[in-house]
């Protein structure tokens, strides 16, 4: 009866630990697809979405969006830009380690950051120059923040797996529960950090797109579904930490 009561005692935190692990694996694999083909689920699960379905990238729009002091003759590659823009997809769903467009998903990459100029193959064109320092600085800040988030997320995920293993062993006694509790608290702190930094990062990225790319009729939006998965995982981590600490004090299994 002792081991049975001990198993019942650790069941709630163990289930919560596995639930948080599933949530964080969804975050990590949201934009991963066999063969690189995107599915409807991957197109719906994202932190940030770029809507380019109504993008205005014509010769006239390039002239209309030129900064003050630059004349139309300084856009010699306008027709080349318009030709390249034909390959731009209707939308790009951006996750933590990759992105998906209408039919294709990028490779899983660490570190990963979404650079629209590179993805749209507009490097070294007048469009890149016209976007200016504000866009370049915004993308660089986003890149640094999201790369930092990657490493915190990987460390948190590793602790989550370790917590699952330690949690299974916790059926043996309260000393194992103590070890699991320590791991759980560390994992929870990293999970909260990941969620907060991710929200700040993608809200900032949305602001960059809205302020700089609005003249081209490009819109950015946050993905409530994937953020909900992220915060549900964080909630499960917080709850599991509480129940693991409770299992240290009670349910000795004797």
- According to the model, what pLDDT value does residue 78 have? 44
Structure confidence at residue 128 (pLDDT): 64
What integer pLDDT is reported at residue 17 of this predicted model? 96
Q: What is the pLDDT of residue 117?
A: 79
Average confidence (pLDDT) per 10 residues, the chain, 254 residues: 72 94 93 70 85 65 46 44 60 89 83 84 66 82 92 96 92 86 96 95 90 80 93 96 84 60
> Is residue 46 a contact partner of residue 226, using CB atoms and an 8 Å limit?
yes
Give CA–CA dist 203/186, Å, rounded. Answer: 26
78-91 pLDDT tens trace: 444 444 555 678 88
pLDDT tens per residue across span 172-190 = 888 888 999 999 999 999 9
- Would you say 123 and 77 are in contact if contact means Cβ atoms under 8 Å apart? no
CB 76 within 8 A of CB 62: no
Rounded to 5 degrees, what are φ and ψ at 111? -80, 160
């Amino acid at each position: 009866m002792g081991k049975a009561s001990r198993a019942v005692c650790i069941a709630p935190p163990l289930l919560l630990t596995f639930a948080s692990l599933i949530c964080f694996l969804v975050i990590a694999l949201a934009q991963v697809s066999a063969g690189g083909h995107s599915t409807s689920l991957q197109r719906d699960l994202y932190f940030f979405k770029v809507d380019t379905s109504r993008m205005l990238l014509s010769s006239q729009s390039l002239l209309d969006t030129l900064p003050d002091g630059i004349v139309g003759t300084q856009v010699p590659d306008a027709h080349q830009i318009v030709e390249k823009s034909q390959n731009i997809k209707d939308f790009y769903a951006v996750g933590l380690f990759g992105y998906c467009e209408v039919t294709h998903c990028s490779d899983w990459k660490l570190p990963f950051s979404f650079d629209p100029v590179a993805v749209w193959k507009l490097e070294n064109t007048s469009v890149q120059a016209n976007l200016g320092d504000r866009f370049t600085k915004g993308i660089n800040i986003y890149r640094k923040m999201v790369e930092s988030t990657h490493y915190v997320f990987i460390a948190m995920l590793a602790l989550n797996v370790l917590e699952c293993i330690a949690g299974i062993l916790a059926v043996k006694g309260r000393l194992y529960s103590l070890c699991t509790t320590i791991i759980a608290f560390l994992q929870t702190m990293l999970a909260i950090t990941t969620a907060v930094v991710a929200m700040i990062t993608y809200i900032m990225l949305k602001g960059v797109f809205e302020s700089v790319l609005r003249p081209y009729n490009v819109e950015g939006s946050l993905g409530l579904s994937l953020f909900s998965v992220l915060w549900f995982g964080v909630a499960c981590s917080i709850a599991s930490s509480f129940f693991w600490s409770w299992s240290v004090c009670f349910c000795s299994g004797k």
